[in-house]
Amino acid sequence: FIFASSIISILIAIMKKKIYDINILFALGAKNKLIYCVFLWYSLIYIIFGIIFGTSIGLLISSYFDKIIQNIEKFLNTKFLSSNIYFIDFIPIKVIYSDIFYIILLVFSLVIICSSYSILKIIHKNSIKSILS
């Protein structure tokens, strides 16, 4: 959800900066469907790169998590999970690929829905402005 909200905020910021370009496209005779498709492809590019990089970084960190924690413990000269105090002295990590797939599917659909809503909102606002002008 953090990933989806950051992608959505980036897309909304980009679309607000592109309002001038959208007005130029309207002036040149572009239809709402063309503008919608252009910005939907733009958001798809962000989603795909974000999912690829986010998933690969997350899987990489989860596979080397024990080594990362050991290096942090050496650097700080402290033990996070001491065997004297806690039941276990490690953090158990199990990667379930079906859960990763469902999370990716959820994030993808959430970003598509929200970016479609923001695109339609900006197109509707600009088409009303062009009608009134």
**Measured CA angle at 126 (ends 42, 131), to 5 deg:** 145
Helix locations, the chain, DSSP H? 2-17, 19-27, 32-63, 65-76, 97-132
d(CA 18, CA 125): 13
**What pLDDT is stored for residue 60 in this prediction?**
93
d(CA 65, CA 15): 38
Q: What average pLDDT does the structure give for the chain?
A: 79
The answer to whether residue 17 scores a pLDDT higher than 70 is yes
Per-residue pLDDT tens for 100-118?
Answer: 999 889 888 887 887 787 7
Give the dihedral sign, CA 44/32/26/117.
Answer: negative
